[in-house]
């Protein structure tokens, strides 16, 4: 058993163990420490300094994302000094770039916006000149707006260390530094496979999903956990929907360490579900009449299927009917068809596409 | 899979063959890369194409399609000759050694080089790396199984793992990567002609009794013979098979030798197709029943590592459609079955009752968790991430003697190129879902034939040119993608695109045991289209 000890955050005693950071412990106990460059799946970065805390006995402010807990440590998260520093950081970030929340896709779900709100910043305290960078809309699924980027580096870390596509990096220097694809190609012409991981970890509106644009702000979307239908990995997806339409997918972040996909998705799991919204979905039974498939009612269709199966079984025996079940329907539905084939029709002629 | 995906980084060496992992199981492909780049795991890739993982490999062997039995046994020939095998494991935990050893004799490095095109020096290096690095995991997919000797290929992988003692430990095992999200579940649920749920054989009277009792049937009403497979049902259409009920499958795109398959389907008296779109197969049905898609209902799916996961309902399906189980129950009722389970809960309760490996997997346990891996026989059981720990499920592991068999068809004078088929990153199976996705269809909207630079030069074909590809079974027109990422003499076509359907060309020769078609090897010719 690893030994546990207590640390104190804002005077509150909290049980914890070695190897964790102050930020980890604060998060476990719902104590809000703002972060921008830190993400649970990309780990500590120690860049943005938004997570600074005061530790008794240590000089200066410390980055809680990188500070490991020690027995008896006493931490303050919201002193006047800390808030002043955070305010300065956020004001500088807000001053550099275009952080216009009004029509931003990230409105309501933006970590920079959250910080500004909590710090009571209504407008940036500085006015900085900056060179506007044209949107990168070259990719089918992802829009890049470098003007909203705060250079936290999460997307780069995740692209290189989590999904391992090795596309994103920082390019250029000083004022001109920005996130680039390969050797600064437009995303759509780069080696990017559009898994969308970068969008999922972006704290601001610098990376967004093209087809989610204008479909509804975050707070109007419903989130449901589903299992991806595209391969045997069985990725856990948080599917976001609105008005009974699919909007976008995120890899499930909750318990990500134990998820089969550890919060990640591929291009199919990310972007491949708009087929659900299609107008050409079948929405009525069809029966072939005079060589053509024509719309029919459920009773008519089901009666026909049942009577034809009954007749064919009577004439040629149960083994004359075959069943193709599916590797895309659920266990329960597979069981239902298996029970129907074996228990109702009376044949073992049931198989599925495991071979195809 | 005998093991779990998270264990990739516990391996010392990984063998990837017959799986283009970064395209077909992309998230797991990333985990393999991570194991290599961050944990120093060694990687051996065996594939005729420069697949995404090839550039991360310590050794990439490019075999001729259809020679997997040869190089797999060839590896073992070298391992045994050099005494690199795990004698203790073989002695204690396996049987069939003598016969197996004899069959290895045939696979000399020279012979294997001749059959597979893999230089014997490279094969030696791979054997040494795989056998002497420590824990080895083998991952494969349809590139191994879709052959007229697919079962032999799988047995050869299983042999390799057994002689090295690569079972029952984290980071080892025989690990097929399943291509659909519920292939594992469909098999577990008895969606196979020979077994009930949890692989209880239909030829076993006790098993039949158990299910007859649960379904309130007389024992003599239960079919006691193994049924037909998908492939034989199509082959026997019009003869022993008169009607098909097809749920969520599209054989009119996915079956090999499409022209022939279509003729077979036309011989049926009655076809029912239950699907979410009017697929190529639904279009030839007598009755089409509209169903809900995965996100429009709830239930469980079982992934490639046997993890049973709960999927919730995110959307209401089309007003005129129904869930698959509701449709099936309604037909069952009309055929006189009065006690057919009505709800998903009723069905799942029956599954747990009749399926020992799922008995402990309650909805309550998996609804808010990350799932449970079977076998999970009781509510207290934590699930089983690794199979065969300590000993094999069947007692002793059986080493199989494997006699070399070539593919059913190979390149010749008339059809000088070898075609292999598969999927692209952006599309899935017959494309009925992905081709209706804006982003995916936006990235790739048509098929292509991957053609080696040298072959293209010889044929005077340039990149992007439309060509005619023919086999003994049919021909298609398709755009040429001239590349050095595929071995000379081999061509690749994805099977997602109806406009240039690869399965018009493929061979319907079957593995004698598994009845799986040989999608991965057939002979074709490529011609310029006259202007």
Angle at the Cα of A155 from the Cα atoms of A149 and A159, rounded to 5 degrees: 150
Give whole-number Cα distances, A348 to A319, A325, B300, in Å.
Answer: 8, 12, 24
- Residue A339: the pLDDT is 98
Residues of chain B with C-beta less than 8 angstroms from the C-beta of A242 = none
Q: What is the four-CA torsion angle of B419, B421, B426, B430, rounded to 10 degrees?
A: 130
What whole-number distance in Å separates Cα of residue A96 and Cα of residue A148? 9
Angle at the Cα of A179 from the Cα atoms of A178 and A182, rounded to 5 degrees: 125
Instruction: Say how many CA atoms lie within 13 Å of B307 toward its Cβ.
Output: 29
Contact pairs from chain A to chain B, CB under 8 Å: 465
Contact B149, B511 (CB under 8 A): yes
A221-281: what CATH class?
A: mainly beta
Q: What is the pLDDT of residues B222-264, one digit of tens each?
A: 999 999 999 999 999 999 999 999 999 999 999 999 999 999 9
- Longest Cα–Cα distance of chain A, Å, equals 91
Closest Cα partner for B69 from B2, B17, B131? B17
Helical ranges in B343-452 per DSSP H: 344-354, 363-367, 438-443
User: Inter-chain contact B241–A321, Cβ cutoff 8 Å?
Assistant: yes
Whose tokens are 């649960």? That residue is B214
- B-contacting residues in A 190-219 (Cβ below 8 Å): 193-195, 210-211
DSSP B179-230: SSTTHHHHHHTT-BTTB-GGG-BTT-HHHHHHHHHHTT--GGGS--S----H
Helical ranges in B294-343 per DSSP H: 324-334
What whole-number distance in Å separates Cα of residue A164 and Cα of residue B37? 9
Of all residues in chain B, what percent are helix, strand and coil, respectively (each to 5)? Answer: 35, 20, 45
Query: Looking at CA atoms only, how far is residue B94 from chain A in angstroms?
Result: 28
DSSP SS3 for B434: helix
Contacts of A206 (CB under 8 A, 6+ apart): A144, A145, A146, A147, A148, A149, A150, A179
Of A236, A286, A307, the CB nearest to B370: A236
What whole-number distance in Å separates Cα of residue A233 and Cα of residue A227? 10
Residues of chain A with C-beta less than 8 angstroms from the C-beta of B255 = 356
Instruction: Using a CB–CB cutoff of 8 Å, tell me whether B208 touches chain A.
Output: no
DSSP SS3 for B283: helix
Q: Running DSSP on this structure, what letter comes out for residue A200?
A: H
Q: What is the pLDDT of residues B90-114, one digit of tens each?
A: 999 999 999 999 999 999 999 999 9
Give whole-number Cα distances, A148 to A75, A189, A326, B225, in Å.
Answer: 32, 22, 45, 66
- Residue A2: the pLDDT is 66
Q: Tell me the average confidence (pLDDT) per consecutive run of 10 residues in chain A, 356 residues long.
A: 86 93 94 92 89 94 94 95 93 89 92 93 83 93 96 96 97 91 97 98 97 94 97 97 96 95 97 96 97 97 98 97 96 98 97 83
User: Inter-chain contact B328–A326, Cβ cutoff 8 Å?
Assistant: no
What whole-number distance in Å separates Cα of residue A344 and Cα of residue B528? 54
Closest Cα partner for B142 from B34, B195, B68? B68
Contact B182, B318 (CB under 8 A): no
Is residue B255 packed enough to be buried (19+ CB in 10 Å), middle (13-18) or exposed (0-12)?
Answer: buried
Contact A322, B245 (CB under 8 A): yes
Contact B383, B302 (CB under 8 A): no
Closest Cα partner for B453 from B501, B479, B485? B485
DSSP SS3 for B56: helix
What is the Rg, in whole angstroms, of the alpha carbon atoms belonging to chain A? 27
Where along chain A do its domains lie?
4-78, 221-281, 286-355
Model confidence, pTM: 0.95
Contact A66, A46 (CB under 8 A): yes
Of A164, A269, A336, the CB nearest to B324: A336
Contact B193, A348 (CB under 8 A): yes
Closest Cα partner for B172 from B11, B360, B383? B11
Instruction: Using a CB–CB cutoff of 8 Å, tell me whether A288 touches chain B.
Output: yes
DSSP SS3 for B32: helix
Closest Cα partner for B245 from A341, A329, A311? A341
Searching chain B, which residue's CA lies closest to the CA of residue A141?
Answer: B439
Searching chain B, which residue's CA lies closest to the CA of residue A356?
Answer: B254
Whose tokens are 């699924």? That residue is A141
What whole-number distance in Å separates Cα of residue B298 and Cα of residue B304? 19
- Residue B50: the pLDDT is 97
A4-78: what CATH class?
A: alpha beta
Instruction: Using a CB–CB cutoff of 8 Å, tell me whether B324 touches chain A.
Output: yes
The gap between the terminal CA atoms of chain B, to the nearest Å, is 51
What whole-number distance in Å separates Cα of residue B232 and Cα of residue B253? 16
Is residue A294 packed enough to be buried (19+ CB in 10 Å), middle (13-18) or exposed (0-12)?
Answer: exposed
Searching chain B, which residue's CA lies closest to the CA of residue A302?
Answer: B331
What whole-number distance in Å separates Cα of residue B292 and Cα of residue B314? 12
User: Inter-chain contact A283–B297, Cβ cutoff 8 Å?
Assistant: no
Whether omega for the bond prior to residue B375 falls within 30 degrees of 0, making it cis, is: yes
User: Which domains, ranges and CATH numbers included, belong to chain B?
Assistant: 5-177 (3.40.228.10), 183-373 (3.40.50.740), 417-528 (2.40.40.20)
In the beta sheet, which residues pair with residue A246? A241
Q: What is the pLDDT of residues B51-96, one digit of tens each?
A: 999 999 999 999 999 999 999 999 999 999 999 999 999 999 999 9
Residues of chain B below pLDDT 70: 531
What is the Rg, in whole angstroms, of the alpha carbon atoms belonging to chain B? 24
Closest Cα partner for B18 from B51, B41, B43, B57? B51
What whole-number distance in Å separates Cα of residue B190 and Cα of residue A189? 46
User: Inter-chain contact A227–B291, Cβ cutoff 8 Å?
Assistant: no
Contacts of A144 (CB under 8 A, 6+ apart): A135, A136, A137, A179, A187, A206, A207
DSSP B128-147: HHHHHSS-EEEEE-HHHHSS
Instruction: Using a CB–CB cutoff of 8 Å, tell me whether B300 touches chain A.
Output: yes
User: Inter-chain contact B351–A332, Cβ cutoff 8 Å?
Assistant: yes
* ipTM here: 0.95
What whole-number distance in Å separates Cα of residue A211 and Cα of residue B440? 12
What whole-number distance in Å separates Cα of residue B331 and Cα of residue A6? 63
Contacts of A321 (CB under 8 A, 6+ apart): A309, A312, A313, A341, A345, A347, A349, B241, B242, B243, B244, B245
Instruction: Using a CB–CB cutoff of 8 Å, tell me whether B199 touches chain A.
Output: no
Instruction: Using a CB–CB cutoff of 8 Å, tell me whether B201 touches chain A.
Output: no
Q: Running DSSP on this structure, what letter comes out for residue B375?
A: P
Residues of chain A with C-beta less than 8 angstroms from the C-beta of B281 = none
Searching chain B, which residue's CA lies closest to the CA of residue A238?
Answer: B314
Contact B82, B127 (CB under 8 A): yes
What whole-number distance in Å separates Cα of residue A205 and Cα of residue A142? 11
What whole-number distance in Å separates Cα of residue B259 and Cα of residue B236? 15
Q: Running DSSP on this structure, what letter comes out for residue A188?
A: G
* The pair of three-digit structure tokens given for residue A112, joined into one six-digit string: 């920079």
């Amino acid at each position: 058993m690893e030994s546990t000890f207590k640390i104190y955050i804002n005077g509150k005693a909290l049980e914890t163990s070695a190897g964790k950071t102050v930020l980890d412990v604060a998060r476990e106990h719902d104590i809000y420490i703002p972060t921008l460059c830190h993400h649970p799946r990309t780990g500590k970065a120690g860049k943005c300094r938004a997570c600074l805390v005061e530790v008794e006995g240590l000089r200066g402010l410390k980055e809680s994302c990188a500070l490991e807990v020690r027995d008896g440590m006493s931490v303050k998260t919201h002193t006047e000094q800390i808030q002043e520093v955070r305010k300065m950081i956020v004001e500088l970030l807000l001053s550099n770039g275009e952080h216009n929340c009004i029509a931003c896709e990230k409105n309501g779900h933006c970590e920079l916006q959250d910080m500004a709100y909590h710090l009571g910043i209504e407008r940036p305290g500085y006015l900085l000149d900056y060179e506007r960078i044209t949107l990168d809309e070259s990719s089918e699924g992802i829009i890049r707006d470098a003007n909203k980027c705060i250079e936290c580096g999460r997307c780069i870390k995740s692209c290189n260390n989590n999904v391992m596509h090795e596309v994103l990096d920082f390019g250029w220097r000083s004022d001109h530094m920005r996130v680039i694809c390969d050797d600064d190609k437009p995303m759509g012409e780069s080696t990017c496979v559009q898994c969308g991981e970068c969008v999922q970890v972006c704290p601001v509106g610098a990376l967004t999903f093209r087809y989610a644009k204008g479909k509804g702000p975050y707070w109007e979307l419903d989130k449901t956990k589903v299992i991806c239908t595209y391969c045997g990995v069985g990725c856990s997806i948080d599917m976001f929907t609105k008005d009974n339409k699919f909007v976008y997918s995120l890899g499930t972040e909750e318990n990500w360490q134990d998820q089969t996909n550890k919060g990640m998705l591929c291009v199919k799991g990310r972007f491949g579900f708009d087929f659900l919204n299609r107008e050409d979905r079948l929405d009525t039974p069809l029966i072939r009449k005079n060589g053509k498939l024509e719309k029919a009612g459920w009773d008519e269709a089901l009666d026909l299927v049942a009577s034809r199966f009954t007749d064919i079984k009577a004439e040629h025996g149960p083994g004359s009917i075959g069943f193709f079940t599916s590797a895309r329907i659920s266990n329960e539905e597979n069981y239902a068809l298996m029970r129907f084939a074996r228990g109702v029709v009376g044949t073992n002629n049931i198989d599925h596409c495991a071979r195809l | 899979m005998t093991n779990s995906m998270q264990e990739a980084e516990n391996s010392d060496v990984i063998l990837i063959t017959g799986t283009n992992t970064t395209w077909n199981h992309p998230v797991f492909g990333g985990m393999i890369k991570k194991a290599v780049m961050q944990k120093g795991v060694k990687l051996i890739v065996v594939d005729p194409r420069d697949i995404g993982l090839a550039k991360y490999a310590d050794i990439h062997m490019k075999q001729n399609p259809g020679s997997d039995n040869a190089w797999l046994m060839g590896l073992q020939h070298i391992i045994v000759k050099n005494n690199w095998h795990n004698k203790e494991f073989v002695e204690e935990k396996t049987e069939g050694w003598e016969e197996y050893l004899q069959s290895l004799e045939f696979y000399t490095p020279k012979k294997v080089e001749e059959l597979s095109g893999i230089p014997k020096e490279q094969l030696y290096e791979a054997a040494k790396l795989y056998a002497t690095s420590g824990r080895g995991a083998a991952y494969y997919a349809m590139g191994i199984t879709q052959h007229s000797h697919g079962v032999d290929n799988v047995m050869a992988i299983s042999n390799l793992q057994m002689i090295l003692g690569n079972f029952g430990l984290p980071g080892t095992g025989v690990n097929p990567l399943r291509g659909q999200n519920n292939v594992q579940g469909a098999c577990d649920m008895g969606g196979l002609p020979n077994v009930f749920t949890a692989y209880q054989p239909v030829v076993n009277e006790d098993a039949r009794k158990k299910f007859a009792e649960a379904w309130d049937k007389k024992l003599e009403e239960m079919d006691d013979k193994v049924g037909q497979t998908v492939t034989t049902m199509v082959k026997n259409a019009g003869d022993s098979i008169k009607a098909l009920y097809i749920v969520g499958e599209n054989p009119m795109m996915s079956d090999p030798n499409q022209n022939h398959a279509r003729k077979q389907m036309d011989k049926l008296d009655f076809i029912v197709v239950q699907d979410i779109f009017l697929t190529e197969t639904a279009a030839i049905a007598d009755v089409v029943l509209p169903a809900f898609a995965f996100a429009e209902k709830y239930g469980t799916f079982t992934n490639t590592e046997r993890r049973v996961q709960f999927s919730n309902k995110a959307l209401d399906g089309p007003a005129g459609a129904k869930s698959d189980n509701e449709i099936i129950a309604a037909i069952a009722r009309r055929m006189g079955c009065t006690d057919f389970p009505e709800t998903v809960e009723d069905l799942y309760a029956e599954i747990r009752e009749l399926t020992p490996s799922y008995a402990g997997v309650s909805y309550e346990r998996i609804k808010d968790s990350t799932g449970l891996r079977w076998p999970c026989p009781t509510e207290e059981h934590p699930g089983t991430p690794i199979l065969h720990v300590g000993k094999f499920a069947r007692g002793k592991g059986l080493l199989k003697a494997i006699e070399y068999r070539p593919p059913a068809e190979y390149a010749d004078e008339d059809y000088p190129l070898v075609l292999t088929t598969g999927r692209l990153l952006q599309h899935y199976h017959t494309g009925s879902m992905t081709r209706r996705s804006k982003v995916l269809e936006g990235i790739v909207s048509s098929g292509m034939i991957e053609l080696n630079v040298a072959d293209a030069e010889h044929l005077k074909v340039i990149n992007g040119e439309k060509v005619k590809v023919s086999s003994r079974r049919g021909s298609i027109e398709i755009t040429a993608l001239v590349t050095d990422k595929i071995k000379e003499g081999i061509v690749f076509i994805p099977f997602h695109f109806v406009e240039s359907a690869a399965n018009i060309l493929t061979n319907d020769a079957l593995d004698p045991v598994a009845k799986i078609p040989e999608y991965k090897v057939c002979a074709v010719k490529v011609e310029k289209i006259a202007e």
